[in-house]
A and B are shown apart, each in its own frame.
Chain A
């Protein structure tokens, strides 16, 4: 009954198999990660010491903008879609994704979207230079002419996300093996179900924001232009109504990965499964009603300021529940520290630190000092890099033996972890100091009192960047020449349907649904 994949390039262009599409998503996001990382290296090289040395301020702004856009939309979002494609059907006992052709389309428009975006760097006027948050009127009246390419790039990327989300929801709601009720699903499937609803809710809002920009720029409307009766602050409200759920879209699937890895290597079931589900849903709900905490200096009325402060502080409660649950899962387990577990433990520690600074940022009067400073940069890299990125790295180490039937090199994995862990903290911890001492973000150059910690941060960044090449090497070496394994249950403590199929996972799995105990 099972047939193998097609031969040659057609296998990939016409792919409808969830594993093939998952693989393409993973490679695509890794390529974008290296590109966005290269931009980060340019930024840190320029900030290595005071003065402009290697690039001009206008190009610096293009680098910060493209770094943010590529990392958020090109690296972190697609990597989790890739993991969802690979793992969700195998976790819920489904033969494939519910909508395989839509799956193909949602992947294959991505390279075009990012080509449009990246091509602007080589056009007259240069690429987008208004930050990844592209506040109007800097991104409308004062934008370079290439802004239209940026807008269409965002439209394409957004369409891809919406299609991917529809597919994930359809798969989870329709294709679970008989007997797998929603409350028996692995947390990774739960977190993606919630994330997919968030995406469907907010990607159209982003599309609306960029379409209003398009109208303002080309068709004489004044949505964001006060001179024509519009309001630049309207842009920020619309953007952050998308943008705040967006940051949870990035982190919630990471929670799901953690809830798979920590029990495996603690050899103990996940603590508080149902409270994990409710906490995730609560975080998703709160994400819709806190957006203006990104705008505490914009001049909101006192009542608005107080409301957004209180609502934002509330997020600490469900987030705390998740952290406590992971730690209690480890408590009285039998823990071993393979590479995925090392990244998972680092995730819990560093994400919690990012949560603490998040709580500080929620306090509106104090945020007057933190807003738009390097303190914010440090905060969101603790949750984006040590959160989302560490978790996706852990996921690759955790599942690659299942994907390839080969074991990665554990020593190299551990070296990768320790260099990443140390370099990450050397890069981003000093940025807290810089921000508190008064250095704003998106600065191409800075005054002399910020010199020392900037240099430390740059050194950390170079080491962090280099350590990712080791990761790339380790992954390729595993695929090409890793030690072959065939035990379906790769990890001693692993539970779940994906560990019942053969290793490596065959092209088609669960053509007949498994029995759920």
Chain B
């Protein structure tokens, strides 16, 4: 159905405008929240966001009043000076005084606006004396959060199912706004956010924090947020970053400090436990079960749910030379990526266990039968550490 519709579109055939109506009859979306009254920028929960909101409102009202004055004159003239009402045209065509006035007055209004804007921008740029540093890395199409110096790091990606996106499952309240693991930050603390990109440029935007900063590969940008109110704040990627640009949301969970410390301690112990798991030897069934999940989450976006790829863009894994060839080559491309292509270095994103499971899955699924068909976490560890 989807690909057929696509052909219609590409061929320029068919009444395009009617398609969504037809579809609406087929799969009614779930009840959605009342959104008619979402008209303005949120006031937000940081001093920066409240500052920005105030400036936004001041400028809007200045524009509204200028608009009332200018359009007032215009509408009066449009009505009163119609030929059909017998109005005879005047013949004036210049007046130095008037023209000077409407050059100078707007310039003065602009100067008035520039003051609060400058103050607010300086505040926004003051990243000094932070209590906590979090490095945010944008990947196609997920975010990675590193708590610098705390030995905690994880990937946060879309938790909405493909079935929900393509209409075969209902859309729930936080459709496209839910992630596998939110960024957790303490309330009342100044958190410095260090942004970078792993592949293309992304932009980390949470409206209620008034934080939007580009995540650029090869560079580190910094900005900050101090959230005053505990709560869950949702945002999105704001810079076009490829196919799944719309599918890499952001969720920030601001919690009281004690809760944050408890969470941090738990994450740290998980990191230790995961390292221990790296030394364990898994059975093929264990790896396959885990690998299927990792593959679906991380690899299927490009290489297809059944390893079929996208002809001309993303290679297939089913029957591929790499999946059937020597295990060293397979490990190398997954861990280090392939420069100059969209194939990322997954060594930096996934744990040894997840990588071993995904590679094992690729070498055994969909009729793939390779000679060295099992990869253990320790094999991945060796490649990651150049042994």
Contacts and interface: CB of A to CB of B under 8 A. Distances in A.
Given A369-B41, A437-B38, A50 B117 contact: no
Contacts of A58: 243, 310, 313
Contacts of A412: none
B236 A438 contact: yes
Interface stretch (A18-26, A171-179, A271-279, A496-504): A271-279
Given A232-B201, A331-B73, A334-B81, A61 B214 contact: no
Given A299-B214, A360-B63, A448-B171, A369 B52 contact: yes
Interface string B300-321: 0000000000111100000000
A309 interface: yes
A477 interface: no
A272 B94 contact: yes
Of the listed residues B38, B42, B235, the one surrounded by the most CB atoms of chain A closer than 10 A to its CB is B38
Contacts of A365: 48, 51-52, 55, 117, 120-121, 124
A488 interface: no
A332 interface: yes
Interface stretch (B15-23, B184-192, B370-378): B15-23
A452 B73 contact: no
Contacts of A368: 52, 124, 210-212
A487 interface: no
Contact of A363 (B9, B38, B117): B117
Contacts of A56: 2, 6
Contacts of B214: 297-299
B78 A345 contact: yes
In this complex, the interface size class of chain B, counting residues with CB under 8 Å from chain A, is 35 or more
Contacts of B235: 438
Given A270-B93, A365-B117, A443 B210 contact: no
Contact of B90 (A333, A345, A433, A452): A333
A53 interface: yes
Given A450-B35, A451-B35, A360 B60 contact: yes
A473 interface: no
Interface string B43-60: 000001001100110011
A45 B245 CA distance: 19
Nearest to B205: A440
B165 interface: yes
B107 interface: yes
A123 B322 CA distance: 26
Contacts of B42: 437-438
Interface string A431-459: 00100111111111111111111000010
A5 interface: no
Contact of B106 (A48, A317, A369): A317
Interface in A207-247: 225-227, 231-233
Interface in B109-153: 110, 113-114, 117-118, 120-122, 124-125, 140
A314 interface: yes
B262 interface: no
B246 A446 contact: yes
B366 interface: no
Interface string A248-275: 0000000000000000001111111111
B166 interface: yes
Nearest to B204: A297
B258 interface: no
A438 B236 CA distance: 8
Contacts of B102: 320-321, 324
Contacts of A450: 35, 38
B279 interface: no
Nearest to A46: B20
Nearest to A302: B125
Contacts of B29: 49-51, 448, 451
A509 B281 CA distance: 90
In this complex, the interface size class of chain A, counting residues with CB under 8 Å from chain B, is 35 or more
Interface in B138-189: 140, 164-167, 171, 173-177
Nearest to A61: B243
Contacts of A275: 94, 99
A138 B313 contact: no
Given A45-B19, A54-B6, A138-B242, A233 B216 contact: yes
B5 interface: yes
Interface in A289-313: 297-299, 302, 305-306, 309-310, 313
B242 A142 contact: yes
B70 interface: yes
A423 to B, nearest CB: 12
Contacts of B236: 438-440, 443
B293 interface: no
Given A275-B99, A320-B102, A369-B52, A452 B245 contact: no
Contacts of B35: 437, 448-453
Nearest to A59: B6
Interface stretch (A96-104, A180-188, A348-356): A348-356
28 contacts: A48-B24, A52-B165, A54-B5, A56-B2, A61-B243, A125-B312, A130-B240, A131-B240, A226-B217, A272-B94, A297-B238, A298-B221, A305-B125, A323-B70, A327-B70, A327-B77, A332-B77, A335-B82, A349-B74, A363-B56, A365-B124, A366-B52, A366-B117, A372-B205, A439-B236, A447-B176, A448-B171, A453-B36
3 nearest CB pairs, A to B: A226-B218, A124-B312, A299-B221
Given A45-B17, A232-B217, A449-B38, 10 more contacts: A42-B16, A135-B239, A138-B240, A141-B340, A233-B219, A317-B106, A333-B87, A364-B121, A369-B52, A440-B205
